[in-house]
Amino acid sequence: MDADTKKTALRMIPYGIYVLTVADKNGAIAASTVNWVTQSAFSPPLVVVGVKADSATYAQVKETGRFALNMLGKGQQGIAFSLFKPAQVEEGKISGEPYRAGSTGQPLLENAFAAVECKVTDIVERGDHHVIVAEVVDAHVGQALEGRPDSTILEMKDLGDNVFYGG
């Protein structure tokens, strides 16, 4: 397999930008910007997220079995880039972003356009990122969206001409 061809083919997959947040039972919070996300079933509503296997966020999701997926909107590049780095939780903010607890106790970024709260059902431990399968148990839309929801989300290609996370 030619490495450049593989990279180009896989980079055709379009991605939105999300902040995965997780609080453990003691309230400790981890958060990371992620993009490898898809729905995988309507009934029950399932989502799949690929998460870096050696990250603090992954370890906490695996232990807690819960997380929230915060959908960023157009113009929120700053939040995406700040959460490429390990999250700093202080003064009631996650890396400077205000949040509140959702119905399941998971952190919801106040400025995200939408969020889903999830319960992990399965993990496939394969590769440098693992596959987390989770049921959506609550959902939030923070502001009225104009037009198609998938036209309002911040996308990978909005982060810069040469920014990719795939290939």
Binding site for a second copy (CB under 8 A): 1-2, 5-6, 8-16, 36-48, 50, 71, 113-116, 121-122, 124, 126-131, 133, 136-141, 145, 148-153, 155-157, 161, 166-167
Report whether 119 contacts 135 (CB < 8 A). Answer: yes
Q: Which two tokens stand for residue 38?
A: 């898809």
CB of 10 or CB of 28, closer to a second copy: 10
Least CB distance from residue 51 to a second copy, whole Å?
9
Q: Hey, what amino acid is at 14?
A: P
Least CB distance from residue 100 to a second copy, whole Å?
16
**In sequence order, what DSSP letters do the residues of 112-127 get, joined into one string?**
SSEEEEEEEEEEE--S
- Quote the CA–CA distance of 113 and 124 in Å, as a whole number: 29
CB of 13 or CB of 28, closer to a second copy: 13
Least CB distance from residue 156 to a second copy, whole Å?
6
CB of 30 or CB of 112, closer to a second copy: 112
Q: H helices within 31-122, ranges in order? A: 56-64, 77-82
Least CB distance from residue 123 to a second copy, whole Å?
9
- Quote the CA–CA distance of 22 and 99 in Å, as a whole number: 12
CB of 48 or CB of 56, closer to a second copy: 48
- Quote the CA–CA distance of 116 and 40 in Å, as a whole number: 14
